[in-house]
Structure 1
C-alpha cells in the first residue's frame, strides 16, 4: 500500500542543497518580495544530483504545482516538462516527468510537487540547461513547443561542468552509450568497442516482482501454448544470497532478490536481459507502468522509481535493458494499434524515465503483426508509425527493433515490408526451428543491407515454445544443439547475439523462473562464445563466407584471406578453398563447450594455393569445434 508523503525535499541553487530548515525560512520570508525588484531575474530553485562525469546520469528536480497521480488535472497528460541541454553547438531536448514527492521509491508517495528530468552527458565540458514547463489540455503529447501556457519554473536554467569519462567505472559507465551506427553491431560511444549480446530472455515478466509497489497478478489464466501464471509474484528468493553489501535496496531492504539475480547473471558473463514493460491482457497479466490494470493515462510514480533503481544497477553491471513494450495479445490495446493518444503518452513516459540509460533496446512488440492464431495484429503502417515516433522523440536514439513470430511465413511477410524503413534499426528474431538460425541471420543481414539500412539481427527466442532452452537438470537436454545451431549459428553469420527463452513446460519457465541457476551451463556456453569473439578474432571486420567450405559441414567467417574461422556444429572435419590465397596458414582448434586455450589438431599448418584440409580435432571428433585458420605472415 502506498504511503502519502507529507514532506518535500529541500532545494538550493544549482546542485548544492541548502540546509532545509534555513532554506525554507528564508524562502518563505522572501516570497512576497520576489517580484518587487524591477529588472531583477527570478531565481528558481532546483536540485541536481548525480556524479558530474561523462556517461553518468544526472537528475534535476524542479518544484512545480502540488498535485497527485489521481488529480483531476492529470499531471502526466496536462503538464509538459522538456529541458534543453547544450554544450557548445551540441544540444539535446530531453523530456521530463512528474515525480510525486521526489522520493517515491522510498516513501511510496503518489502526490507532491516535484518534476524531474534525467540526463546522461556524452562529453565533458561546460553544459547549460533551460527548462520548458507548460500546462494545457493533452499538452504532454503535443509537439508544438508553444502549446499551452508557461508556468511555475518555466525558464529555469543553470550550468554545470562534466568531467571526462572514468574508464575504470563499472559496467557501461566506463564505456559509454551503446549506439546503433547502421552496422551489424552496436558500438560503445566512449571506447569504440563493438558489442555482441548474450543474455537471459526469461522470465519475460521480470518486473512482476513482489517488492515493487502496485504490482499484482490480474485475473491469471492458463492458456494452451503458454507458461502458467499460477502462484505468487516473483521473489527471486534463491538469489537473495547473491545480493552484496552496498547494493541498492528500497523501503528498508526490499529488492535483494532481483538485484541478487542480476548480480548472478552479470557474474556469469552475460550482458543483456529481456523483459516486458506491459503485459495487460497478455501472458501473466502482472506488469504495467500505470496506477491500475485498466488505467491508460496515469503512471505509478513509486513503482517506476523502483524499476529505475534496478535499471541503474543494470548499467553498473553492464546489462543491456531489452525493453519489450507490448506483446502479441495487447498490440492493439492502445489506440487500436495506432500511435495516437494513449500510445504516445505511454512512449513519452518510458522515454522520459528510462531513455537516459547507456544500454537500451526499444523492442516495439513481441510476436508483432497478424498471424492465423493471433489475427488482431498491427499493420505495416502501424508498425512504421510507432517506430517513427520513437525515432522522433527519443533524444538518445537507442536501438529500435521489432520481435517476430516464430514461423517463417509471417516473419518474412512482415519484415520484407519493413526493409529500408529509416526508423527501423533491426529485428528481434524468433525461430521455430533451431536449424534455421544461421541461414535466417545471413538472409536478413543481406536483405537489410541491400535495402539501404543495415539491420542489427539478434535471435531472442527459439522453439519449440514448450522447451526453449532446457534447464541443466532435464534428462533429455537440448543445450548442446542450442549452443551449436543457434548461439554459434547466429554469431558465425555476423549476427548481434542471442537471448535465451526458457520454454513454457520447463521448470523455472518463461513466466515462473525464480532461479537463473537453472541454466547455469547455458550461461557458460554463452560466455565462452562471447569471449572468443571479443578476444580472439577481429569480428567487426569479418563476413560470413560459407562458400569457402569445399567439403564438410561447417560455417565460415572470414577477414579477407587473413583470418578464416570455421565452426563445425556436428564435429568431423572440413576443407576450405585457399586457391586465391598465398603463404602458409596456421591451424588452431578451440573448444566451444569448455573454452580455454587453443589446441593442436592433427594438422598444424597448410600451404595456400588450392583446397586445404584442416585435419581432425584434438579429441571428441563427434562434437562441435571452432577452427582458426590464420595467415602466418599477415598475422
Structure 2
C-alpha cells in the first residue's frame, strides 16, 4: 500500500511525537567531535516524576569504541543542568565519557525503571587531544606517565583554598592557577574537590566569595541532598585545569570528619555506594583526576573506610584513575594491596616509633628520603603528599623547618625516585595570592619565592639534564659518606645523579664507561660547573676501597666544589 507524500509526512510526524512522549531526549547532535582524552558530554531530559531523582532511576549507557570494544558507564542526575535543582526538581540527566580511541564512537542509554532510552554517536579526533590519565610508567613504575607510556616529571603545588571555588572564577584562574602554569606546574593537590569543610579559607586579597556554604551534602544523606550548585563550581575549576592538562589530587577526598565536615561513617552502606557511583559518574571522565584519596593520615587496612572506598572506586571507575590512601607512617604501609595503585605518604615514624622522639626529625630531609624509599611497592609510584619540611603552611611553624630544609627535602624525595608537592602559603587559616603572605609566584616581596626558585632548579635538572624516567634510587653505590646527607639516583652504567647536602664528600661506584658529559649544579642558584671526564675501564672494575671489594665497579672519591651550598653531581656515559 502507498500513501500520498503529504500523508506520509503527517504519519512520520505523529510517529515521532509518539516516540518522544515515551523517551528521554538527548540534546547532542550526531556529528559532535571530541578531542582524544577530552570529555564527551550530552544532556538528556526526563520529565517523569520521581520522589528522589538522584537515586530512584539509574541512567545507564553502553559505549562502543571504533575497535568494537564496549564500555558500560553510568550517567547522573544534574537538576536543571546549570547548577540548580534538587532531588525533586529539574529534568536534566547527563552522560559523560572519556574517549581513548580515535574514530566514531556509538552509545546507547537506558533507564533502570524502564523509561525508553536512545542512542547516538560522536567522533573522537586528534585535534585538541589531552594528555590522558596519570598511571605508573610501564617501563619503570617508580615514576608516573600519561596512560602509562609518556613519562612526566610531576611538578606539584598544594593549593589549599577550600572556599575559593566560590570566589569569581576568572579571578582565581588569573591570580592562582595561571601563575602556577606559567612556572611549569602540571599538578595540584587541592582541598576543594569534593567540598566538605573549611569554607572560610579563601583568598583574602580577592573578591568576596558568593557563599561560604559549600557543603556538598547533608550529614548521612548523600543520595538526597547533593548540592548541584557546588558541583557546578567544582567542575568549572576541574574542567579549566583539565583543558590545560594539570593533574589534580584530592587531599581531603571522601572523608570530611577530620576537618569537621560530613563524615563517611555517617553514611549507610547503600549511601556509600551511591556517593561513590555519583562521584565517579561526574568526575571520572576528567582525565586530570590524578588520584582518588580517602583523606589524610589513614592506616590503610580498614574495610569500613579507606580500603572499602578503594574497592568501590575499583568497581565503578572504568577509566581506572589512580587510587590511594595517605599513610602517615609509610614504613608500615598497606600499598601491597591491589586496591591501591600508588602511594601517598607523609614522613612520620621514620626516625622512631614513638611520636615524641619522631617529632624532632620531621623537618629533616633524610626522613623524607627514607619515607619515599620505604613507601615504594614495586609497580606503584610514590607521591610525597605531606612532607613536613615541604609545607610552609602548618608544618614549618610547628617544626622550625627552614627553606634550606625544604630544598633538601625536595631533593631527598627526587633521589628516592618519588614525586612530591610543596606549599609556600604563609598562614594556616588565611590565604592570600599577592604580597608577603601570598602564594610565592608573584614578585619578590614574598620570602618563599626563593623556595619556588629552588623547585624550578630541581625540576629543570630532572626534566632537562637527566632521563629521570630510566633512573631509580641507588644509594648502595655510595660509600664513605654521611647517609643522612648524600643520596644517589642512577641508571647504572649510563647516568648518575648524586645530591650532596652542604657539599658532603662521598665515594661513588660506577660501572665501565667514558663519563665525559658531566656537571656540578648548585641546588640554590642553578649555576653549573664542569666536572672532569671520568673513565672506568674493565681492568679498574674492582673497588679501590679495601673495605668494600665491590667487583664490577670503580670507586671514585668525589669532593664537591665547596661546603657553602648543596651540590648535585650529574655523570653521563658517552660510550
TM over 0.5: same fold? yes
Aligned CA distance change for structure 1 residues 328 and 564 (closer, same or farther; 3 Å): farther
- Residue 290 (structure 1) aligned to one of 216, 219, 228: 216
SS at match of 1:516: coil
1:122 aligns with 2:41: no
1:255 aligns with 2:169: yes
Query: CA separation in 1, counterparts of 2:26 and 2:422?
Result: 47
Give CA-to-partner distance per residue, 1:573-623, whole Å, 9 cap, x none.
322123x42445543112332336x4214x443545232133433xx5321
Quote the residue 2:70 is aligned against: 91
1:187 aligns with 2:168: no
- Residue 576 (structure 1) aligned to one of 505, 508, 512: 508
Quote the residue 1:82 is aligned against: 60
Quote the residue 1:512 is aligned against: 431
Quote the residue 1:52 is aligned against: 34
SS at match of 2:173: helix
Quote the residue 2:406 is aligned against: 482
Please give the residue correspondences for 1:452-463 in structure 2 after superposition, counting only pairs within 5 Å: 454-463=379-388
Query: CA separation in 2, counterparts of 1:36 and 1:590?
Result: 71
Give CA-to-partner distance per residue, 1:163-197, whole Å, 9 cap, x none.
2x23xx5xxx442332346722221139x321232
1:100 aligns with 2:79: yes
1:130–1:158: 8 Å Cα contact kept in structure 2? yes
Query: CA separation in 1, counterparts of 2:304 and 2:229?
Result: 35
TM-score by length of 2: 0.77
- Residue 114 (structure 2) aligned to one of 122, 140, 150: 150
Query: CA separation in 2, counterparts of 1:455 and 1:36?
Result: 51
Aligned CA distance change for structure 1 residues 586 and 255 (closer, same or farther; 3 Å): closer
Q: CA deviation at 1:305?
A: 1.7
- Residue 321 (structure 1) aligned to one of 248, 252, 277: 248
Quote the residue 1:438 is aligned against: 369
Give CA-to-partner distance per residue, 1:383-406, whole Å, 9 cap, x none.
32211110110021001011122x
Quote the residue 1:499 is aligned against: 421
Query: CA separation in 1, counterparts of 2:27 and 2:197?
Result: 40
Q: CA deviation at 1:492?
A: 0.7
TM-score by length of 1: 0.70
Aligned CA distance change for structure 1 residues 60 and 600 (closer, same or farther; 3 Å): same
Query: CA separation in 2, counterparts of 1:461 and 1:522?
Result: 16
Quote the residue 1:390 is aligned against: 313
1:338–1:382: 8 Å Cα contact kept in structure 2? no
- Residue 208 (structure 1) aligned to one of 153, 163, 171: 163
1:266 aligns with 2:185: no
Q: CA deviation at 1:351?
A: 1.1
2:255–2:262: 8 Å Cα contact kept in structure 1? no
Query: CA separation in 1, counterparts of 2:19 and 2:155?
Result: 61
Give CA-to-partner distance per residue, 1:65-101, whole Å, 9 cap, x none.
266xxxx711112121122111133222222111222
Aligned CA distance change for structure 1 residues 469 and 527 (closer, same or farther; 3 Å): farther
Q: CA deviation at 1:52?
A: 2.2
Q: CA deviation at 1:334?
A: 4.9
SS at match of 1:458: strand
1:335–1:341: 8 Å Cα contact kept in structure 2? no
Please give the residue correspondences for 1:410-429 in structure 2 after superposition, counting only pairs within 5 Å: 411-413=330-332, 415=333, 418-429=334-345
Aligned CA distance change for structure 1 residues 47 and 584 (closer, same or farther; 3 Å): closer
Aligned CA distance change for structure 1 residues 460 and 420 (closer, same or farther; 3 Å): closer
Please give the residue correspondences for 1:279-428 in structure 2 after superposition, counting only pairs within 5 Å: 280=196, 290=216, 292=218, 295-297=221-223, 298-323=225-250, 324-327=253-256, 329=258, 334=263, 336=265, 340-369=269-298, 379=302, 382-405=305-328, 408=329, 411-413=330-332, 415=333, 418-428=334-344
Query: CA separation in 2, counterparts of 1:362 and 1:343?
Result: 19
2:500–2:566: 8 Å Cα contact kept in structure 1? yes
1:470–1:478: 8 Å Cα contact kept in structure 2? no
Q: CA deviation at 1:429?
A: 0.8
SS at match of 2:374: helix
Aligned CA distance change for structure 1 residues 290 and 266 (closer, same or farther; 3 Å): same
Query: CA separation in 2, counterparts of 1:479 and 1:50?
Result: 50
Query: CA separation in 2, counterparts of 1:293 and 1:36?
Result: 41
Give CA-to-partner distance per residue, 1:296-354, whole Å, 9 cap, x none.
32212222122211111101333211122225627996563788222222222221111
Query: CA separation in 1, counterparts of 2:106 and 2:296?
Result: 42
Query: CA separation in 2, counterparts of 1:189 and 1:595?
Result: 32
SS at match of 1:52: strand
Quote the residue 1:162 is aligned against: 124
1:132 aligns with 2:110: yes
Aligned CA distance change for structure 1 residues 194 and 350 (closer, same or farther; 3 Å): same
Query: CA separation in 1, counterparts of 2:183 and 2:513?
Result: 41
Query: CA separation in 1, counterparts of 2:200 and 2:153?
Result: 30
Q: CA deviation at 1:438?
A: 0.9
Quote the residue 1:9 is aligned against: none
Query: CA separation in 2, counterparts of 1:161 and 1:283?
Result: 40
1:326–1:365: 8 Å Cα contact kept in structure 2? yes
Quote the residue 2:574 is aligned against: 632
Give CA-to-partner distance per residue, 1:202-236, whole Å, 9 cap, x none.
41xx3413x63xxxxxxxxxxxxxxxxxxxxxx5x
Aligned CA distance change for structure 1 residues 632 and 293 (closer, same or farther; 3 Å): same
Query: CA separation in 1, counterparts of 2:213 and 2:19?
Result: 51
1:570–1:622: 8 Å Cα contact kept in structure 2? yes
Could you tell me which runs of 5 or more consecutive residues in structure 1 were left unpaired when the two chains were aligned: 1-25, 135-148, 213-234, 236-253, 371-376
Q: CA deviation at 1:157?
A: 0.6
Query: CA separation in 1, counterparts of 2:465 and 2:268?
Result: 45
SS at match of 1:570: helix
Give CA-to-partner distance per residue, 1:351-376, whole Å, 9 cap, x none.
11111112213343233436xxxxxx
Could you tell me which runs of 5 or more consecutive residues in structure 2 were left unpaired when the two chains were aligned: 1-8, 202-211, 349-361, 441-445, 541-553
2:503–2:559: 8 Å Cα contact kept in structure 1? no
Quote the residue 1:7 is aligned against: none
Give CA-to-partner distance per residue, 1:34-91, whole Å, 9 cap, x none.
4499xxx979543259742212212111111266xxxx71111212112211113322
